[in-house]
Amino acid sequence: MNISELGENGLIESIRREFSSQTHERLVTGIGDDTSVTLQDGSAYLLTTTDTLVEGTHFSLSFTTPVDLGRKSLSVSLSDIASMGGVPLFFLVSLAIPGTTPAHFIDGLYQGLRSAALDSASILIGGNTTSSAHGLMITTTLLGEVPKGEVVLRSGARDRDRVFVTGVLGSAAMGLRVLKGEKGDRRGGTGGYDEAIRSFLDPVPRLRAGRLLSERGIASSMIDVSDGLVGDAGHIATESRVGIEIEREKVPVSGAIYEVDKSIMEHALNGGEDYELLFTVPEDKINALCDITEELGTTVTEIGRVTGGTGVRVIGGDGSEVELSSTGYEHFKG
Amino acid sequence: MNISELGENGLIESIRREFSSQTHERLVTGIGDDTSVTLQDGSAYLLTTTDTLVEGTHFSLSFTTPVDLGRKSLSVSLSDIASMGGVPLFFLVSLAIPGTTPAHFIDGLYQGLRSAALDSASILIGGNTTSSAHGLMITTTLLGEVPKGEVVLRSGARDRDRVFVTGVLGSAAMGLRVLKGEKGDRRGGTGGYDEAIRSFLDPVPRLRAGRLLSERGIASSMIDVSDGLVGDAGHIATESRVGIEIEREKVPVSGAIYEVDKSIMEHALNGGEDYELLFTVPEDKINALCDITEELGTTVTEIGRVTGGTGVRVIGGDGSEVELSSTGYEHFKG
């Protein structure tokens, strides 16, 4: 069997098994959440996450500017810290660069990193540069922290919790299609597509929302939507040992994008890289959620509920179950 | 100007300048040492380091087994923690893998990581896998810690300190040459070359030595020899604002390798990837060093002294200065 056949989730499962016997008194959560969680001192957990963007897999230099690329490579990690309810602190950047890359490109990349760092009050503390024979690769490792009692894991969802998502979904996947030329000529009145492109190139990590949902004890579980709504809801369902039911008609999409292209509804279920927060809220915390909606810096939409079953079901407008063509974006399957 | 012309050190300098205005009350040392140093709690510093191994640049799958590759990708980061006097704790692995990679190769890789993790009592807490169109790339990020008063930086060397190195140098660079076929047919009586190959494929991080030199307050500055002795001595000289004088005849090499190939002397000065510790010791700590030599788990050799000047000078057997062909291994120059 090769890696394509095994798939990313299969690979992660096999790594998790291989290292399952590891124990450490300071390890709270290792593989299997948005970040690792380790005990830092008496009152705080250290959160750690690493992400790699690969030229040709995650980005094309014909689509993105170096500044956007720099911003996005930090933003995807910031989003992981947000989904744990944490505050970002420090990051490291490991670059593999072809020797022919112009120095001003790298300047732009670091300008983008610096801009995302300023937005999130995190700082660059180290890294590594190395030559690459084929294409650019950026690995960002971000450290953050969260007060001990406030960490929000994937495993905390309980039967009858309600399911919410920040912002709108599917925009990034649509943006990628537009950038790939699959939507034809974009000249004239395609504001929705422009919005989709920006969502793909420069996603906004929901740090403020994640932190508030954690600090106020509102979210029982949380994940960022990077693999697609159904796939990421599946991660919560698996780790929490519950079922999740999503009402398709409630899944929020951008009005401007919907106006130019109705297929956004499909992307909203399965398109990756939205970097919105998907979270569950116990019934008795719904009022607390309503109290802070103004402060979250983004909209919040209820899209379903936690059930006693297993897996993810999507329910259509007529109340029947929607057959899912895919359970989210997987690397190695393309 | 492109990256090849700028070189790795030029690039790091430019990044350092770009981020020089960053401040954070918990940042002790950012870019410019073997690891970053941040305040974790009242009594300990968190150490963080990231390293990338790129197929074609750092390894060839025709030379190395997946197990050795897994071990080495953690060992190079362990060596950075060692050079700060720290204890390794947790690591993350980010893999970019071609989809055609057989699953058993990845199993071997993680077996190697696990073996180096067991040797160093560190544990895998997370990571990331992604597909790569061209070749394998492994980024390891390792977290460690060190008691606040015991961290050993590159910047602590002082005029008249004495300069030491653990183990022997140049073996890894020689091993790489043998693997590349530059030393011809190896059949029959080439034990020295076999030793060199093992040094390249499976370097031993000097964790015990680093920790003891730090804990006992013996080393005033320390670095691991990854770019080559002269290059890394140059990093200490720059950060400490001192000069370093190395006596070529004192630089330790493997007797078995010297016996089959005298050119090991050249590699000992400029060959990279030795992962030995280069450190300076104030005169009044020399006795303390002598007291612990049995416990370090490796030999220690005095090779020179710190001077009031700048830069690195290498002195030959006749007392004259040796002209240096190169100041250490640089990525992007190959």
Q: Please name the residues in contact with A190: beta carbons below 8 A apart, sequence gap of 6 or more.
A: A260
Task: Identify the pLDDT of residue A1.
Answer: 75
Q: Could you read off the pLDDT of B187-229 as tens digits, one per residue?
A: 555 688 999 999 999 999 999 999 999 999 999 999 999 989 9
Which of B287-322 are b and which e, b meaning 16 or more Cβ less than 10 Å from the residue's Cβ? eebeeeeeebeeebeebbbbbeeeebbbbeeeeeeb
Give the residue from A328, A154, A162, A153 showing the smallest Cα distance to A245.
A162
The residue in chain B having the minimum alpha-carbon distance to the alpha carbon of residue A50 is B127
Partner residue opposite B36 with nearest CB, options A30, A54, A126: A126
Task: Identify the pLDDT of residue B328.
Answer: 52
Strand partners, A96: A130, A137
Q: Is the pLDDT of residue B330 over 60?
A: no
Partner residue opposite A40 with nearest CB, options B41, B102, B110: B41
| CB A100, CB B3: distance < 8 Å | yes
Task: Identify the pLDDT of residue A56.
Answer: 84
Task: Identify the pLDDT of residue A334.
Answer: 33
- Cβ contact, residue pair A106, B133, below 8 Å: no
The residue in chain A having the minimum alpha-carbon distance to the alpha carbon of residue B8 is A129
- Cβ contact, residue pair B18, A107, below 8 Å: yes
Strand partners, A2: B102
Q: Could you read off the pLDDT of B6-41 as tens digits, one per residue?
A: 777 777 777 777 777 777 888 888 787 889 999 887
Report how far residue B300's alpha carbon sits from residue B251's, in angstroms, rounded to the nearest whole number: 11
Predicted confidence band at B329 (pLDDT cuts at 50, 70, 90)? low
Task: Identify the pLDDT of residue A79.
Answer: 97
| CB A214, CB A281: distance < 8 Å | no
Q: Is the pLDDT of residue A32 over 90?
A: no
Report how far residue B104's alpha carbon sits from residue B106's, in angstroms, rounded to the nearest whole number: 5
What would the mean pLDDT of B315-326 be, rounded to a whole number? Answer: 86
Q: Could you read off the pLDDT of A71-105 as tens digits, one per residue?
A: 999 999 999 999 999 999 999 999 999 888 888 88
Higher-scoring residue by pLDDT: B291, A27: B291
Which residue of B73, B128, B145, B273 to mutate against A (max A Cβ within 10 Å)? B128
> What residue segments make up the domains of chain A, in order of their start?
3-150, 154-315
| DSSP 3-state of B247 | strand
Partner residue opposite B102 with nearest CB, options A2, A23, A58: A2
Give the residue from A44, A123, A30 showing the smallest Cα distance to A86.
A44
Higher-scoring residue by pLDDT: A137, A191: A137
Predicted confidence band at B331 (pLDDT cuts at 50, 70, 90)? very low
Higher-scoring residue by pLDDT: A26, A275: A275
Strands (E), A55-187: 87-97, 123-131, 137-147, 162-166
Q: Where are the alpha helices (DSSP H) in chain B?
A: 3-18, 66-83, 103-120, 171-179, 191-201, 207-215, 229-240, 255-260, 264-270, 286-292
- Cβ contact, residue pair B101, A2, below 8 Å: yes
Q: Which residues of B touch A24 (CB under 8 A)?
A: 89-90, 123
Q: What ipTM does the predicted assembly reach?
A: 0.86
Confidence (pTM):
0.90
Q: Could you read off the pLDDT of B251-264 as tens digits, one per residue?
A: 999 999 999 999 99
Residue A70 C-alpha, separation from nearest chain B C-alpha, in angstroms: 13
What is the fold of A3-150? Answer: 60s Ribosomal Protein L30; Chain: A; (3.30.1330)
Helix, strand, coil percentages (3-state) for chain B, rounded to 5, are 40, 25, 35
Task: Identify the pLDDT of residue B332.
Answer: 46
What would the mean pLDDT of B136-146 be, rounded to a whole number? Answer: 94
Higher-scoring residue by pLDDT: A326, A50: A50
| Sole residue written with tokens 């606040």 | B148
What would the mean pLDDT of A238-267 be, rounded to a whole number? Answer: 95
- Cβ contact, residue pair A107, B46, below 8 Å: no
Task: Identify the pLDDT of residue B334.
Answer: 33
Task: Identify the pLDDT of residue A110.
Answer: 92
Please provide the average confidence, as pLDDT, over all residues in chain A: 90
Predicted confidence band at A29 (pLDDT cuts at 50, 70, 90)? confident
The DSSP symbol for A322 reads: P
- Cβ contact, residue pair B137, A132, below 8 Å: yes
Q: Is the pLDDT of residue B75 over 60?
A: yes
CB-count exposure of residue A284 (10 Å: 0-12, 13-18, 19+):
exposed
What is the fold of A154-315? Answer: Phosphoribosyl-aminoimidazole Synthetase; Chain A, domain 2 (3.90.650)
Going from the C-alpha of A180 to that of each of A21, A258, A267, the distances in angstroms are: 44, 19, 15
Two tokens, residue A110: 């670091």
Two tokens, residue A224: 């960022």
The DSSP symbol for B187 reads: -
Partner residue opposite A128 with nearest CB, options B2, B52, B89: B52
Higher-scoring residue by pLDDT: B102, A327: B102
Q: Which amino acid is at A24?
A: H
Partner residue opposite A139 with nearest CB, options B30, B49, B94: B94
Calculate Rg over the CA atoms of chain A.
Answer: 20
- Cβ contact, residue pair A22, B143, below 8 Å: no
Which residue of B123, B154, B333 to mutate against A (max A Cβ within 10 Å)? B123
Task: Identify the pLDDT of residue A328.
Answer: 52
Calculate Rg over the CA atoms of chain B.
Answer: 20
| DSSP 3-state of B210 | helix
- Cβ contact, residue pair A106, B48, below 8 Å: no
- Cβ contact, residue pair B102, A50, below 8 Å: no
Task: Identify the pLDDT of residue B129.
Answer: 87
Going from the C-alpha of A38 to that of each of A27, A41, A305, the distances in angstroms are: 5, 9, 30
Task: Identify the pLDDT of residue B26.
Answer: 84
Describe the crossing of helices B66-83 and B103-120 by its angle, rounded to 10 degrees.
30
Q: Is the pLDDT of residue A313 over 50?
A: yes
Task: Identify the pLDDT of residue B333.
Answer: 38
The residue in chain B having the minimum alpha-carbon distance to the alpha carbon of residue A125 is B30
Q: Which residues of A touch B94 (CB under 8 A)?
A: 50-52, 139, 141
Q: Could you read off the pLDDT of A107-125 as tens digits, one per residue?
A: 999 999 999 999 999 999 9
- Cβ contact, residue pair B52, A94, below 8 Å: yes
